[in-house]
Chain A
């Protein structure tokens, strides 16, 4: 299942973020009455269709895998998670139908009416992401739970889903998808500049779009940093077991140090790293007297996968790198800087840097979900249903289950090739008068 989700999250992430990016670019094109900018938006919408096709295929397979391989999880939590997945179905239906309508009506329905058709696409994508994440948030920190005969019985599934954990997870995830998509598209434009060297109006349009995207990325980066911090603070209270593994806290203590580069051994000892006294307690609740629960407060059989700290540190390093590259690109647009320095903003090294921010942000999103999922182990539903009990194993699953990840690889490669060929075939952007 991890293999399927690992692939699906990429399609889903771009499916959530691209409608917003396309609307931003189309909005820019309509305000400036610029047919070249509108053509950029049109081309991106065709790429979005290909990604949604791949997303539908991968999402269908995940639904099947859930039913075939994780039947006990569904049996346990169906009365609550079913609500989230039901809503997700509606939101995705709105998104996919309107995306098809949006792409088909370029040039036929013009101006702001066409832009308005794109709004349900973005809202449907947002709704879909929120709904699915609600389901996962319940698994991370289930509330309003009565368990009767190994099945959750809840008279308030809505209340069980809409929790503080749900707020933090949905907001942090969705903002992350928007940010990752913006940076992916920025990287595509950096490649477009480097490979096709557009000139004249197309160059001007490309520069304008890139500047808008990098400004948007900073807004989302700031929001993401804040949400990430408050989510981690809440994690210390709501999921102390995961928090202890994430922040390498061995024993419960006040004045807890923040350890950079340390790691857990198999028996829960923390080794190595640089310790910054008191910082973890301050980060957790603003004072060194904050008590932080350690890993050894929990039975060893309940410990999560202890390498999530390493994943977290890699994630933060990548976040810093991505932020630095985009910051340099943005700063070089400041008009007060001398032109001989500003000229570097479209230099090959910086364009290359922008090109790699896209894949790096995809890795950041993957790492985030790995931390969430590995940190919840050994539970499928935190504190209630162990992963080993959620798995409905059969001989057929053991014999043939490998075909699922194999088919994902094929789908992934095909989608990548399609996008690459689509991009190559379209070549330089030309103004299309029927869009204005």
Chain B
């Protein structure tokens, strides 16, 4: 399996899941929690492990390119990191701390907008990374894929059923 596929496949899985979360984040603005203001229950960390997997694969399979990529994307990745943490904090607040079902417009809008910030930063990073890689100067670590793909074969079927169940269940 080509190293680049290890990076692309989890990202392809992540995009629709994150897209759905973004849609729900905007859809719930201004609505009480029990009347359309809910969010997906407990999927947040499952969704983002796909992104972490993709980033992880890239870092280690294309380690020769990492210094160049890091310099190209430091600022957008810093913004992404801050937005990611702020989103996590708001997620904890909105769905685990806030006792009222009533909407909190400011925080709900901020929560939704952070999805957009994250998406923009990720898209910019992917484009810059492709530009760096397209120079052809960086070779992947070809020894690792043969040791990594058995994990995919084990993990994907194992998580498929619970993941399907999570996205089908009633929202928080």
Contact = CB atoms under 8 A, between A and B. Distances in A.
Nearest to B165: A101
Interface stretch (B18-26, B28-36, B101-109, B154-162): B154-162
Given A67-B70, A71-B66, A92-B52, A100 B144 contact: no
Instruction: Name the residue among B80, B85, B147 with the largest chain A CB count within 10 angstroms.
Output: B85
B83 to A, nearest CB: 10
Contact of B59 (A53, A85, A154, A155): A85
Interface stretch (A139-147, A202-210, A302-310, A409-417): A409-417
A79 B144 contact: yes
Q: How large is the interface on A (under 10, 10 to 19, 20 to 34, 35 or more residues)?
A: 35 or more
A434 B56 CA distance: 41
Interface residues of B, number: 60
B137 interface: no
A253 to B, nearest CB: 42
State the main secondary structure of chain B at its contact with A: helix
Contacts of A417: 97
Interface stretch (A164-172, A224-232, A392-400): A392-400
Contact of A392 (B53, B70, B144): B70
A391 to B, nearest CB: 11
A131 to B, nearest CB: 10
Interface string B43-58: 1111011111101110
A431 B139 CA distance: 59
Contact of B55 (A64, A88, A411): A64
Contact of B60 (A86, A101, A120, A400): A86
A94 B80 contact: no
Contacts of B155: 90, 93-94
A53 to B, nearest CB: 6
B92 A54 contact: yes
Contact of B56 (A89, A397, A418): A89
3 closest A-B pairs by CB: A78-B63, A82-B60, A101-B162
Interface of B: 41-46, 48-53, 55-57, 59-61, 63-64, 66-67, 69-71, 73-75, 77-78, 80-82, 84-86, 88-89, 91-93, 96-97, 99, 141, 143-144, 147-148, 151-152, 154-155, 158-159, 162-163, 165-166, 169
28 contacts: A49-B42, A53-B91, A56-B52, A60-B51, A60-B55, A61-B81, A64-B80, A68-B77, A74-B60, A75-B63, A75-B67, A78-B61, A83-B60, A83-B144, A86-B147, A89-B57, A92-B49, A96-B46, A98-B162, A103-B42, A392-B67, A400-B75, A403-B81, A407-B81, A407-B86, A410-B89, A411-B89, A421-B96
